[in-house]
A and B are shown apart, each in its own frame.
Chain A
């Protein structure tokens, strides 16, 4: 099967769809405005203007939220940032696009070199400073999310509105996770261990802190063709969190082998994927599910087929 050929096709298809296309057009516009208007000050850092691609200078400003930045760019900011950079005839949307472009540059450092170099003659700009971060094209990890972006506090997570006072009252995940056993994916917390070791005490009943689940210790082994180890489905860890009715009969008929399960279904959010890859540990952790070695004596507490 041409498995390897499908993946690039998929990636291309995703790239081609509207939201991404729009984002690109938006950024091109932003760059054009930047190169025409903003570059005069923001390239060399005239009068203390934060330089393009200078993550340090932009970080505290970005924290104030994109809307605050739009506001400054449109209305100006004392002492030296003029409204719309002085180009009052440029439409608001284009100024915002320029801000987006500058914010994106600060976040990934990429366009810093690219933008300052060709703009050379138009601006009294100095070339990229030695402190400028390396272009993203040369970064070590291109796709892997850096550790610094994991478990962000709500105001920085991209979905909470930093302009909302309530957002700043919410608890940052890391404040709690630091005291819990870590894992490699998802919340990066090993929730099974956290519960087993009594580090957390989630209630089984809304009001009664003493109510406890009836944990059922029954493993179901699902044989897997090919090289992947067989899957051991443990009722124990599930019934510690869930009710039988959460799975039976809606997701799984309670009868060994009666359910057709495949990785494709799981990736699409069905079967085990109803929870794994959404709330419980994600699909990337193959060996937590595919845990039974083949061609060896059956695991002691696993039920053989």
Chain B
């Protein structure tokens, strides 16, 4: 019933893809990633605008909302940094602003609760499969 990939080809592809992702992604500035699983750093514009990057905690929000609310109803694509979120959209009630409006959740003037990342931290999902594979060499690299 299943169509299978021809043998070994994916392993090379996987290795190459991982190396590329890791080198470009840069693993962040901390080099010491042990953030909570699924925390998303969003930093398309923040650094350039002199704001700390935004950190979105999935664990906190999924206790309060199903994935469907954000990823179907509010239109968040499944891609860190893939939604071109900015402050105008937020104050107009899109994305984070659909809830952070002083009605469902605390409103936008609490800049530092969202903009809480270390400056320079790149856009990424923390503790993702690819990141976890990449972290091992850090421990091995002490000697």
Residues in A whose Cβ lies below 8 Å from that of B22: 14, 17
- How many residues on chain B are close to A (CB under 8 Å)? 82
Other than A108-B142, A187-B37, A268-B14, give 9 A-B pairs with Cβ distance below 8 A. A10-B19, A154-B55, A157-B36, A159-B118, A166-B112, A203-B64, A205-B73, A213-B66, A267-B129
The docked-state distance in angstroms from the alpha carbon of A251 to that of B62 is 21
Instruction: Tell which of A166, A225, A267, A274 touches B113, judged by Cβ atoms closer than 8 Å.
Output: A166
Evaluate contact between B15 and A9: CB separation under 8 angstroms.
Answer: yes
Instruction: Tell which of B63, B104, B129, B136 touches A277, judged by Cβ atoms closer than 8 Å.
Output: B129
Shortest beta-carbon distance from B90 to chain A in Å? 15
Q: Which of A268-302 contact B (CB under 8 A)?
A: 268-269, 273-275, 277-279, 282-283
Evaluate contact between A204 and B66: CB separation under 8 angstroms.
Answer: yes
Is A88 engaged at the interface, CB distance under 8 Å to the other chain? no
Instruction: Tell which of A187, A242, A305 touches B66, judged by Cβ atoms closer than 8 Å.
Output: A242
Instruction: Tell which of B2, B34, B132 touches A157, judged by Cβ atoms closer than 8 Å.
Output: B34
Is B47 engaged at the interface, CB distance under 8 Å to the other chain? no
Is B116 engaged at the interface, CB distance under 8 Å to the other chain? yes
Q: A157-B35, A206-B74 are in contact. Are A268 and B17 (CB under 8 A)?
A: yes
- Looking at A53-61, A73-81, A257-265, the stretch in contact with chain B turns out to be A257-265
Residues in B whose Cβ lies below 8 Å from that of A176: 59, 63
Evaluate contact between A159 and B35: CB separation under 8 angstroms.
Answer: yes
Evaluate contact between A187 and B36: CB separation under 8 angstroms.
Answer: yes
Shortest beta-carbon distance from B44 to chain A in Å? 16
Is A63 engaged at the interface, CB distance under 8 Å to the other chain? no
Evaluate contact between B78 and A275: CB separation under 8 angstroms.
Answer: yes
Interface residues on A, range: 35 or more
Is A243 engaged at the interface, CB distance under 8 Å to the other chain? yes
Is A127 engaged at the interface, CB distance under 8 Å to the other chain? no
Evaluate contact between B66 and A241: CB separation under 8 angstroms.
Answer: yes
Central interface residue in A9, A108, A203, by most chain B CB within 10 Å? A203
Q: Which of B26-48 contact A (CB under 8 A)?
A: 26-28, 30-39, 41
The docked-state distance in angstroms from the alpha carbon of A76 to that of B11 is 52
Evaluate contact between B19 and A278: CB separation under 8 angstroms.
Answer: no
Evaluate contact between B128 and A278: CB separation under 8 angstroms.
Answer: yes
The docked-state distance in angstroms from the alpha carbon of A227 to that of B129 is 23
What residue of chain B has the Cβ atom nearest to residue A282's Cβ? B129
Instruction: Tell which of A161, A240, A275, A283 touches B119, judged by Cβ atoms closer than 8 Å.
Output: A161
Is A210 engaged at the interface, CB distance under 8 Å to the other chain? no
Evaluate contact between A14 and B68: CB separation under 8 angstroms.
Answer: no
Instruction: Tell which of B63, B113, B115, B125 touches A278, judged by Cβ atoms closer than 8 Å.
Output: B125
The docked-state distance in angstroms from the alpha carbon of A188 to that of B59 is 11
Evaluate contact between B67 and A145: CB separation under 8 angstroms.
Answer: no
Residues in B whose Cβ lies below 8 Å from that of A204: 66, 68-69
A residues sitting closer than 8 Å to B (CB atoms) are: 1, 3, 6, 9-11, 13-15, 17-20, 23-24, 107-108, 110, 136-137, 142-143, 145, 149-152, 154, 157-161, 164-167, 169-171, 173, 176-177, 186-189, 191, 200, 202-207, 213, 222-223, 225, 240-243, 245-246, 256-257, 260-262, 264-265, 267-269, 273-275, 277-279, 282-283, 305
The docked-state distance in angstroms from the alpha carbon of A273 to that of B110 is 34
The docked-state distance in angstroms from the alpha carbon of A14 to that of B112 is 34
Evaluate contact between A260 and B116: CB separation under 8 angstroms.
Answer: no
Evaluate contact between A20 and B5: CB separation under 8 angstroms.
Answer: no
Residues in B whose Cβ lies below 8 Å from that of A143: 136, 139-140
Shortest beta-carbon distance from A20 to chain B in Å? 6
Shortest beta-carbon distance from B31 to chain A in Å? 6
The docked-state distance in angstroms from the alpha carbon of A186 to that of B17 is 23
Is B50 engaged at the interface, CB distance under 8 Å to the other chain? no
Residues in A whose Cβ lies below 8 Å from that of B140: 11, 15, 142-143
Q: A6-B11, A161-B119 are in contact. Are A203 and B35 (CB under 8 A)?
A: no
Q: A169-B113, A213-B66 are in contact. Are A152 and B10 (CB under 8 A)?
A: no
